[in-house]
Amino acid sequence: LSDRLTSTFKNLRTKGRLSEADIDATVREIRRALLDADVAVQVVRAFTSTVRERALSAEVSGALNPAQQVVKIVNEELVAILGGDNRPLTFAKAPPTVILLAGLQGAGKTTLAGKLALHLRGQGHTPLLVAADLQRPNAVTQLKVVGERAGVPVFAPHPGTAGHEGAGVPGDPVAVARDGLATARSRQHDVVIVDTAGRLGVDAELMQQASDIRDAVDPDEILFVIDAMIGQDAVATAQAFADGVGFTGVVLSKLDGDARGGAALSVASVTGRPILFASTGEKLTDFEVFHPDRMASRILDMGDVLTLIEQAEKAFDADQAEAMAAKLVSGDGFTLEDFLVQMQQLRKMGSMKKMLGMLPGMGQMREALDDFDEREVDRIEAIVRSMTPAERRAPKIINGSRRARIARGSGTTATDVNQLLDRFAGAQKMMAQMAKGGGMPGMAGMPG
């Protein structure tokens, strides 16, 4: 115990900084992990320099070794860039809420439309899917299939009309989107999800079409759907959509694959937009609300390390409580106020037996308190609070009339006050003995 205490104090007293060598070694590891996760190179560069700066100015932690401390900073920064907490969908004050999907062909927009519709339906919404992708021959059919699976109606251009792909005239996706929204209004759908066309690569025509649809339906959310496997192209693609159409949020698709999710960090850090959902398979139920903290550990691939860090910090809290107890016993007068603080500490820890067990020589007291009633702490607190500072410092001056006053003030009896004073006297004696060194070998030189 004394070893642990001593090192705890050593750590507590260290007001140093992490060494640059420690930081650089860990940052190198982090850089490799991020590149392995396919985070864009320029994002990795910016990120690691932020982390390095923060680590250089961080106070040395008593709980963690330097590497763990850097990893902790990395994790916090990752979570922050990924949006901190999950950002829920924004709904329009006056329905319908319009959600526009944008992204490259094959990103997973149409699949997402169905997933989102099912998800919203489960929350009691009444979505309408709008097929504004008239680019690919079977795009409308695909959305109809998805809609049927999700149990959600699909608005599509009628065969033979100008809006329809089979009419010989190129369909007008903007008109379809506008008509879809009007239909949603008249049929009282509270959410409209507009599926759009994509190209294999970013191009001007695609952006213009998406912007025109955006202007026609004035969406509450524009969700940029991006394939998590896209790797290093994530930045350029996200930037192109951010500039070309603009988006309010991101959906990461195909997270069921090998991708470690580096694209998430790339997109979030380049565009500053939050990731709302993750798509994790071809089935409509393979869909999750996005959790930045989980993604951070996936990107770092250091789930175990993060767990270790958490545990180390928890253990450190216990060490600090232990150190506080040691401080109390080694102090030169153990006053009623200390006694009260100690009781409150015990209650706060929720496990005073454990704490007493950590203190050598406390066996006696532990036994005495084995059947200690938690409400007892309230009573002790009330009694001590009803004493004057002078009485707390020197309980000897508490005579009969003071005792009666204290009992009245604390809603207890004179007997209760007596019992407390007796108990305190016993504890005080024990503390004094231990402070002399008898009970706590190796405590010499400990700060009081």
Name the site residues for ligand GDP (rule: CB under 6 A). 103, 105-111, 198, 253-254, 256, 279-282, 286
Instruction: Cite the DSSP H helix spans in 290-372.
Output: 292-300, 303-330, 336-349, 352-358, 363-368
Query: For residue 236, how far is the Cα from the chain centroid?
Result: 28
198 known ligand binder? yes
Q: Is 110 in the site for Mg ion (CB under 5 A)?
A: yes
Q: Which is nearer to ligand GDP, 61 or 279 (CB)?
A: 279
281 labelled as ligand-binding? no
User: Please, are residues 106 and 227 in contact by the beta-carbon 8 Å criterion?
Assistant: yes
Nearer to ligand GDP, 259 or 369 (CB): 259
Query: Which of ligand GDP, Mg ion, none interacts with 253 (beta carbon under 5 to 8 A by kind)?
Result: ligand GDP
At 12, is the secondary structure helix, strand, or coil?
A: helix
CB atoms within 10 A of CB 408: 12
- 370 annotated ligand-binding residue: no
> Is 182 flagged in the annotation as binding?
no
| Residue 261 binds: one of Mg ion, ligand GDP, none (C-beta under 5 to 8 A by kind) | none
Considering beta carbons, is residue 227 or 416 the nearer one to ligand GDP? 227
CB atoms within 10 A of CB 71: 24
DSSP character string of 376-407? HHHHHHHHHHTS-HHHHH-GGG--HHHHHHHH
How many residues bind to Mg ion according to rule CB under 5 A?
2
Selection from ligand GDP, Mg ion, none that 190 binds (CB < 5 to 8 A by kind) is: none
Residue 4 annotated as binding site: no
Whether cis (ω within 30° of 0) applies to the bond prior to 153 is no
**Residue 195, annotated ligand binder?**
yes
In the complex, minimum distance from the CB of residue 239 to ligand GDP, in angstroms, rounded to a whole number: 18
Rg of the chain on CA atoms, in Å: 33
CA 195 to chain centre: 31
CB of 348 to Mg ion, least distance (A): 56
107 binds, among ligand GDP, Mg ion, none (CB under 5 to 8 A by kind): ligand GDP
Nearer to Mg ion, 105 or 335 (CB): 105
Give residue for tokens 């008593």: 62
Q: Is 253 annotated as a binding residue?
A: yes
Q: Please give the Cα distance from 69 to 329 (Å, whole number).
A: 32
Choose between 8 and 110: whose C-beta lies nearer to Mg ion: 110
387 binds, among Mg ion, ligand GDP, none (CB under 5 to 8 A by kind): none
**Closer CB to ligand GDP, 132 or 417, in the complex:** 132
Nearer to Mg ion by Cβ, of 52 and 199: the residue is: 199
Out of Mg ion, ligand GDP, none, what residue 254 binds, judged by CB under 5 to 8 A for its kind, is ligand GDP
- Of 110 and 280, nearer to Mg ion (C-beta) is 110
Give the distance between the most distant pair of CA atoms in the chain. 106
Taking the complex as a whole, the smallest distance from the CB of residue 196 to Mg ion amounts, in Å, to: 8
Please say whether the dihedral angle defined by the alpha carbons of residues 356, 357, 358 and 359, taken in this order, is positive or negative. Answer: positive
Cβ at position 299, least distance to Mg ion in Å: 27
Classify residue 83 by its DSSP letter: T
Residue 156 marked as a ligand binder: no
CA dihedral 160, 166, 170, 175 (to 10 degrees): 50
C-alpha distance across the termini of the chain, in Å: 17
To the question of whether residue 108 is assigned a binding role by annotation, the answer is yes
Look at residue 103 and give the partner it binds from ligand GDP, Mg ion, none, a contact being a CB closer than 5 to 8 Å depending on partner kind: ligand GDP
Give the nearest distance from C-beta 109 to ligand GDP in angstroms. 3
In angstroms, give the least distance from the CB of 209 to ligand GDP. 14
415: annotated binding-site residue?
no
Pair type for strands 191-196 and 97-102:
parallel
Is the distance from CB of 202 to CB of 241 less than 8 angstroms?
yes
- 104 annotated to a ligand binding site: yes
Contact, 215 vs 91, CB < 8 A? no
Decide which of ligand GDP, Mg ion, none touches 111; Cβ closer than 5 to 8 Å per partner kind.
Answer: ligand GDP
Determine the 3-state secondary structure of 253 from DSSP.
Answer: strand
Alpha helices, H only, 82-153 = 109-122, 139-150
Known binding-site positions: 103-110, 195-199, 253-256
Known binding-site positions for GTP: 103-110, 195-199, 253-256
Question: Interface with Mg ion by CB under 5 A: which residues?
Answer: 109-110
